[in-house]
Amino acid sequence: MELLTINNVWMMICTALVFFMHTGFAFLEIGLTRQKNTLNILFKNIFIVTIGLLLYALVGFNLMYPGFADGSSGIFGFAGFGLSSPLTAEGTLDLAYNQGYTYWTDFLFQGMFAATAATIVSGAVAERMKILPFMIFAVIYVGFVYPIAGSWKWGGGFLQTLETPFYDFAGSTLVHSVGGWAALVAVCLLGARIGKFKNGKIQAIPGHNIPFATAGVLILWLGWFGFNGGSVLSADPELTSLTLVTTCLSAAAGGVVAAIVSTIMYKNLDLTMFLNGILGGLVGITAGADQMSPTDAIIIGAIAGAVIVFAVSLIDKLKLDDPVGAIAVHLVCGIWGTLAVGLFGNLAGVDQFISQLIGVAAYAVFCIVTSFIIIYTLKKTMGIRVSEKEEIEGLDVHEHGMDAYPDFRLNEH
């Protein structure tokens, strides 16, 4: 019973840390975008967390953990609506139903992950997407697409039953790439912000509060202690400690290398690239944080940091407008981190690498197709882009009828 309590308390602490990450996402997004759209971004972030938890309780948790029957395809299952704690043979609550923590803790921890996928998309479409279509997208993606995708690995689906099982410890693919693929599709269908590309040249649109963005990244780094540390699914001292060490070393290496590479390429010390390098290192290590040595973690993070710089440049050259670098961080580094499991650590090998490729491809197809259907349908039926006037004057006034900073409004035309 003492071990149960220790494991359960640790999992609840990690749940709180992952919840706190939504503060980090909000700060990062508003910091890297313009003042006139601050309230709009905050509204989306709050909506995602609240509706995400409700949907996960209603359908998501049982879509993600359906208990696939023997002989099933392992692609889709559903264990029923709502939450119902499992019982022991004597009819009492099964407090230790899953590796020493309770059903309720399990639900809440997994529910915090669910909202993250749509939050990634929020940053990529910032400053020009209508609020109502985004809310509809978030409901469908968080409520149905993410849980079904998650069931393929974490719910014991077909990727878990491969001869060499696909491995994703804490979600480089299952969380970050799932959000990243949708972000890529949304940006392609939405188009760039007014003024981002002029006469074929890329124009920087600075964020209004870089201190907020910096605080957001540091909060996200702290939250990753719960994101990866909680994914051990127990308070095992050795494995939890190793996971936190590899997580931190990868983040640090990602930031340093991104800063160095961007300075060499652009001849200036770019703080935003430094920050995104840290996030890239965190996303990159997430798939295999429990399998890596400290040296492996530094290498994975360093490569992620370099990849961030080149990915941001490539996205700009493709005329795709991602205000916060969500595609480079969550999609590109998510793919890298997933493949890195087959190259480094305890699971390195040809068979594992092939399984990782299969997993990346499966999620790519599923997420691209589903997000395209959702967003394209919204585009053709109700429209997804605000008017030119609304975009120029700001979404806060036109979508919400108020300013985030009413006493300090700037002319940002």
Which stretches of the chain score pLDDT less than 70?
1-3, 86-100, 408-413
Bridge pairing between strands 201-202 and 197-198: antiparallel
Cβ neighbours of residue 64 closer than 8 Å, sequence gap 6 or more = 110, 114, 146, 147, 148, 150, 151, 154, 155
How confident is the model at residue 413, as a pLDDT? 47
Measured CA to CA, the distance from residue 316 to residue 143 in angstroms comes to: 31
373 forms beta bridges with none
Biggest CA-to-CA distance, the chain: 73
Measured CA to CA, the distance from residue 30 to residue 324 in angstroms comes to: 9
Of 209, 216, 183, the C-alpha closest to 22 is 216
CA dihedral in degrees (184, 186, 188, 193; nearest 10)?
Answer: -110
| Tokens found for residue 316 | 């700009």
Measured CA to CA, the distance from residue 300 to residue 292 in angstroms comes to: 9
Cβ neighbours of residue 5 closer than 8 Å, sequence gap 6 or more = none
How confident is the model at residue 3, as a pLDDT? 66
How many Cα neighbours within 13 Å face the side chain of 154?
27
pTM of the model: 0.94
| Tokens found for residue 302 | 């360093």
Of 314, 319, 350, 344, the C-alpha closest to 332 is 314
* Digit-coded pLDDT (tens) for 170-221: 999 999 999 999 999 999 999 999 999 988 789 989 999 999 999 999 999 9
How confident is the model at residue 117, as a pLDDT? 82
In order of their start, the domains of the chain are: 2-65+100-400 (1.10.3430.10)
Q: State the Rg of the chain over Cα.
A: 21
**CB 375 within 8 Å of CB 185:** yes
Residue 235 to residues 81, 230, 238, Cα–Cα distance (Å): 30, 8, 9
How confident is the model at residue 281, as a pLDDT? 98
How confident is the model at residue 408, as a pLDDT? 62
How confident is the model at residue 84, as a pLDDT? 82
Q: Sign of the CA dihedral 360, 362, 365, 369?
A: negative
* Digit-coded pLDDT (tens) for 296-334: 999 999 999 999 999 999 999 999 999 999 999 999 999
How confident is the model at residue 410, as a pLDDT? 52
How confident is the model at residue 310, as a pLDDT? 97
How confident is the model at residue 1, as a pLDDT? 55
Measured CA to CA, the distance from residue 402 to residue 128 in angstroms comes to: 17
Question: 368, exposed or middle or buried, with CB in 10 Å at 0-12, 13-18, 19+?
Answer: middle
